[in-house]
A and B are shown apart, each in its own frame.
Chain A
Amino acid sequence: MKKENLKRRIKQQRALQVFVWLGILYCFIFNIIPMFGLIIGFKDYSITSGIKGIFTSEWVGLKYFQQFIGNYQFGKLVRNTVVLSLLKLVFTFPAPILFALILNDMKALGVKKIVQTASYLPHFISWVIVSCIASQFLSQGGVINSFLMSIGLVKEPVKFLTAPEYFWGTMVTLDVWKEMGWWTIIFLAAITGINSDYYEAAQIDGASRLQRTIYITLPCIKSTIVVVLIMTLGNLFGGGLSGSNFEQSYLFGNSVNADTSQIIQTYVFDVGLSKGRYAYATAVGLIQSVLSVIMIMGSNFAAKKISGDSLY
């Protein structure tokens, strides 16, 4: 009886089931099959054996993982990945909150609108274009260096794009520049939702503007801040909210600054696609994937604990 019912229901929604199954099939091909490909990280695989070789080649256990850990670049790659990610967490994450507070305090609405609209712009521009602009702007004869030298802050041009010691700073600054305006949207929307009675009451009690911001605005948008923080942590090693680690390191990295610019993700590309060591590259990529999964699970768990509601 119940089975009959189910059959009838499926028959009724046949077309809708087809729509969804097209999507499921598509995801199977483009998402699930590559996941099976991960096993070559544990196998003695060579590209000449094709797809079949994924299953037929011999198991080598953790050989590639040991190779990677024993590699002279291992320490550097892990350090660069972690430092770049943490710096972005510290700077790129709070910047939009601060900017939202500032925009919210602007009374000239026309000016506010113009500034805000302008601030979204870099979000819609690709990192390739940002790197083209930066290679003009931050070059040794570029605007920034000319400015710094004319006010006497530096004596000789700063090698923002080539010196290894400036790589992290330059990347984090560019990340803030590109994404701050965009993420401000969320915080500004949260601020707009605050009941204006709170502010009126505080004003009557004699709270200053700064006090109102600190004691009313910030606590009221706390839950939004937590949600965005959790999203950031979920993608910590990809570069946080904007996930820009790979693109930045690939586009701005060069042989001169490789010491600080090379990260695990770019290393995977280098040994995999350029040097053709597929199995080894897959194993290295898997390490980063496992870390990401742990971060995602952890942040989802934290979200459940804090808000009583899972993010996904």
Chain B
Amino acid sequence: MGKTARRRKIRKSKEDWILDCIIYLFAFLVFFMTIYPFYYVVVLSFNEGMDANMGGIYWFPRKFTLENYAKFFGDMTWIRAAMVTVARTALGTVCTLFFTSIVAYGMSFKELVGRRAYMKYFIVCMYFSGGIIPYYMLLKTLGLLNSFWVYIIPSMLSIFYITIGRGFYEGIPGSLRESALIDGATELQIFVRIIVPISKPFLATLALFTSVGHWNNWYDSTFFVKDQELVTLPYKMLAVINTNTITANDMNAAGHAASTTTSISVQLAALVISVAPIICVYPFLQKYFVTGLMIGAVKE
């Protein structure tokens, strides 16, 4: 009896060992495949563009240079695109945060007349749309095409986050509002002074997703904006890919003789600059987005 028990233990640990090997190998592969492409792009962005065209760079820059970054910061079109992107992200996030949370707060009030009907209406708006062409015509009619406001106004209200925010605000005791009302506060004052400070987890989640969405958005700049002074960073990067397929052949011959950079290598510098803030911020907001995703998926 003792013998069989011992044998089972040995067998089990052997199986454990194999399983652990597979698990850690797989985890390492996932880790490596996630991180390495980013690392690779960083390496390329610090390498001379013409030299990088020859390939064969994997771990470290072969001809180290800061030229690509210098070119980025020296080029007004890139700087302008970066500034537009920063501006839309900041303003867009503030607007969405305020508008979405105030509507969600209104919806959270259980005695609100028409609450169920309003909710149905919002759900319909969330799931059905007129498609891109009627939407484009609407933007045109509103004069939003080719305007900075096309980045801000059409995305000011997130219906999905109304449903989440409503659930969050329902958890706040109604007595807070009532006692403030007795003290003579208006609803807007109550919202700004009392509700906003205690709803940080919800606002942080919303702020994270909204700002990342604005930062990454290439769509509106590509389809709704023609003015080159108003385009965003993602659009500029996209434009480099699109033009590069045409000019790749004459790249070596044309006008780049004195420079070691290429449009691609400058684009990679831009890419690193635009990814860097995300990499720096998201690990610290994990607890917020993890709960945000959970509420979203379970939709209590």
Contact = CB atoms under 8 A, between A and B. Distances in A.
Interface in A1-20: 6, 9-10, 13, 15-20
A26 B157 contact: yes
A268 B101 CA distance: 34
A6 B113 contact: yes
B123 interface: yes
A37 B299 contact: no
B278 A115 contact: no
B141 A51 contact: yes
B23 A227 contact: no
Nearest to B117: A24
Nearest to A288: B131
B58 interface: yes
A99 B30 CA distance: 9
A160 B156 CA distance: 38
Nearest to B163: A312
Nearest to A95: B30
- Main secondary structure on B side of the interface with A: helix
A127 B213 CA distance: 12
A interface majority secondary structure: helix
B295 to A, nearest CB: 11
Given A17-B106, A124-B212, A132-B237, A282 B134 contact: yes
Contacts of B245: 254
Contacts, number: 247
Q: Which 8 A-B pairs rank lowest in CB-CB distance, beginning with the nearest?
A: A37-B134, A34-B130, A15-B187, A126-B216, A19-B106, A23-B103, A285-B131, A141-B55
Given A6-B113, A16-B109, A128-B238, A143 B129 contact: no
Interface string B21-41: 001101110110111011011
A153 interface: no
A168 to B, nearest CB: 20
Contacts of B16: 209
Interface string A61-97: 0000000000000000000000000000000000000
Contacts of A285: 131-133
Contact of B186 (A15, A106, A210): A15
Interface stretch (B65-73, B199-207, B282-290): B282-290
Interface of B: 8, 12, 15-16, 19-20, 23-24, 26-28, 30-31, 33-35, 37-38, 40-41, 44, 54-56, 58, 99, 102-103, 105-107, 109, 111-113, 118, 121-123, 125-138, 141-142, 154, 156-157, 159, 162-163, 186-188, 212, 216-218, 223, 234, 237-238, 240-241, 245, 264, 267-268, 271, 274-275, 278-279, 282-283, 286, 290, 293-294, 297-299
A30 B157 CA distance: 10
Contacts of B134: 33-38, 40, 282
Given A27-B159, A115-B31, A137 B241 contact: no
A117 B286 contact: yes
Given A26-B157, A124-B212, A181 B34 contact: yes
Given A121-B279, A133-B271, A209-B16, A126 B55 contact: no
Contacts of B123: 312
A120 interface: yes
Contact of B19 (A26, A133, A209): A209
Nearest to B223: A273
Given A121-B279, A132-B237, A272 B133 contact: yes
Nearest to A141: B55
B138 A19 contact: no
15 contacts: A16-B109, A19-B106, A20-B106, A23-B157, A102-B23, A102-B27, A105-B19, A124-B278, A124-B282, A137-B37, A142-B55, A186-B297, A209-B16, A273-B132, A278-B137
A16 B187 contact: yes
Nearest to A26: B157
Contacts of B133: 37, 40, 268, 272-273, 278, 281-282, 285
Contacts of A47: 137
A301 interface: no
A189 B111 CA distance: 34
Given A111-B27, A311-B299, A27 B125 contact: yes
Given A117-B286, A227-B297, A23 B109 contact: no
B151 to A, nearest CB: 14
B278 A35 contact: no
Contacts of A293: 127-128
Contact of A132 (B12, B27, B271, B286): B271
B165 to A, nearest CB: 11
A37 B130 contact: yes
A302 interface: no
Interface in A98-139: 99, 102-103, 105-107, 111-112, 114-115, 117-122, 124-129, 131-133, 135-137
